[in-house]
């Protein structure tokens, strides 16, 4: 038989293939025919979106509208040093909302990082999550929401092993506040998490993980240095291009329209944002393009992202740069 000696975490199951199945595998591959598909066009659920220069200041009122009593504010160390979590706590306090801060999100957040944050969420008695930062912070927030509300271990909810169907309500409400313009995670149901045991990235996804609110303020992106502007811009471009040609849905003008216009915005504004981080018009275009890309790639991603995830996992380079290489 084939491979009977490699138990895989977390369940230590052995994925073996019987000799009888191996004997006929090539014959069955040669005679296999793709069944005819019925293509169903579905329009995605997207968050409520606040978009524009200055909308960040409306956060407290909108969080109160979601009936959040105590929020976990999630960020990485750099965003914490810039003072964004402190600003959020101030706005929440003015609206009668208590808060606690977890500012230890790592790049390409690993399972252990999520476990620590979810435990902190429970200890603090939080009932909602507000995340500020780039893609790692937003993906972490979604994974924290799952881990804090679902039984078992986080890897059980990996999409490739049927985890999507295991995520049940209620899941804490999530508010996403991007400070980069690349990932588009603020507009969709996906989170990418690193499993150090297997040295892979895996996806968690569920409509229950879609943020209740995305606060997209291009002013917050002005702090990005040129290298980060370029890398995140490459990620947004990859989402739009791969989303346009993706075949998860062969016919979907909605996604294709967003993807095409996202490419147009990036083509007109990425260089300007790179050359002058204070150019608010360019920053606005890039934020919109990132949001469009985050929705559009639901239509499917391609080889570029497949390569990018592997390169990023093994060499720990920024995701946008990895996708550019892919």
Question: Percent helix, strand and coil across the chain, each rounded to 5?
Answer: 55, 15, 30
CA distances 135 to 141, 191, 193, 249, Å, are: 10, 9, 11, 25
Residue 313 has what pLDDT? Answer: 80
Q: Where in the chain is the domain with CATH 1.20.1090.10?
A: 224-325
Task: Name the region of 319 (left: φ>0; alpha: ψ -120 to 50; beta: rest).
Answer: alpha
Give start and end residues of each alpha helix (H) in 83-174.
84-94, 111-123, 135-149
Count of CB atoms within 10 A of residue 146's CB? 25
**β-strand 70-74 against 128-133: which pairing, if any?**
parallel
If residue 74 lies in a helix (H) or strand (E), which one and from where to where?
strand 70-74
- Alpha carbons 220 and 55: distance in angstroms, whole number: 10
Q: Shortest CA distance to 211 belongs to which of 294, 148, 93? A: 294
What are the two backbone dihedrals, phi and then psi, of residue 73, each rounded to the nearest 5 degrees?
-90, 120
Asked if residues 72 and 106 have their Cβ atoms less than 8 Å apart, the reply is no
For 291-323, b/e burial (b = at least 16 CB within 10 A) is bbbbbbbbbbbbebbeebbebbbeeebbbbbbb
Class of domain 48-218: alpha beta
Q: Shortest CA distance to 214 belongs to which of 52, 43, 44? A: 52
CATH of 224-325, one of 1.10.10.10, 1.20.1090.10, 1.20.120.790, 3.40.50.460: 1.20.1090.10
- Alpha carbons 172 and 165: distance in angstroms, whole number: 17
β partners of residue 131: 74, 176
Predicted TM-score (pTM) of this structure: 0.87
- Alpha carbons 150 and 153: distance in angstroms, whole number: 8
SS3 293: helix
pLDDT tens digits, the chain, 326 residues: what are they?
A: 444 556 666 667 666 666 777 777 778 777 877 777 777 888 999 999 999 999 999 999 999 999 999 999 999 999 999 999 999 999 999 999 999 999 999 999 999 999 999 999 999 999 999 999 999 999 999 999 999 999 999 999 999 999 999 999 999 999 999 999 999 999 999 999 999 999 999 999 999 999 999 999 999 999 999 999 999 999 999 999 999 998 888 889 999 999 999 999 999 999 999 999 999 999 999 999 999 999 999 998 988 888 888 888 888 888 888 888 87
Q: Where in the chain is the domain with CATH 3.40.50.1970?
A: 48-218
- Alpha carbons 202 and 3: distance in angstroms, whole number: 23
């Amino acid at each position: 038989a084939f491979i009977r000696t490699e138990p895989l975490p977390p369940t230590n199951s052995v994925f073996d293939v019987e000799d009888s199945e191996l004997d006929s595998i090539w014959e069955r591959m040669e005679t296999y025919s793709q069944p005819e598909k019925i293509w169903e066009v579905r329009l995605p659920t997207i968050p409520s979106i606040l978009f524009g220069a200055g909308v960040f200041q409306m956060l407290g009122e909108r969080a109160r509208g979601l009936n959040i009593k105590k929020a976990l504010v999630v960020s990485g160390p750099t965003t914490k040093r810039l003072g964004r979590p402190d600003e959020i706590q101030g706005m929440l306090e003015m609206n009668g909302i208590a808060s606690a801060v977890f500012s230890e999100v790592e790049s390409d957040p690993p399972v252990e990082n999520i476990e620590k944050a979810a435990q902190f969420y429970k200890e603090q008695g939080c009932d909602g999550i507000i995340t500020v930062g780039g893609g790692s912070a937003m993906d972490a927030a979604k994974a924290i929401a799952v881990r804090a509300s679902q039984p078992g271990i986080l890897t059980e909810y990996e999409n490739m092993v049927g985890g999507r169907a295991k995520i049940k309500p209620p899941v804490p409400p999530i508010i996403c506040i991007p400070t980069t313009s690349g990932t588009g995670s603020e507009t969709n149901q996906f989170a990418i998490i690193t499993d150090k045991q297997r040295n892979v990235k895996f996806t968690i996804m569920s409509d229950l993980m879609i943020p209740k609110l995305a606060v997209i303020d291009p002013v917050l992106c002005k702090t990005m240095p040129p290298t980060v502007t370029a890398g995140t811009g490459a990620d947004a471009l990859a989402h739009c291009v791969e989303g346009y040609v993706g075949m998860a849905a062969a016919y979907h003008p909605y996604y294709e329209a967003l993807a095409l216009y996202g490419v147009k915005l990036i083509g007109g504004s990425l260089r300007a944002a790179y050359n002058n981080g204070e150019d608010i018009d360019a920053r606005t275009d890039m934020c919109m393009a990132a949001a469009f890309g985050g929705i559009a790639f639901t239509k499917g991603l391609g080889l570029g992202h497949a390569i990018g995830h592997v390169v990023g996992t093994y060499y720990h380079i920024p995701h946008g740069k990895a996708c550019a290489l892919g």
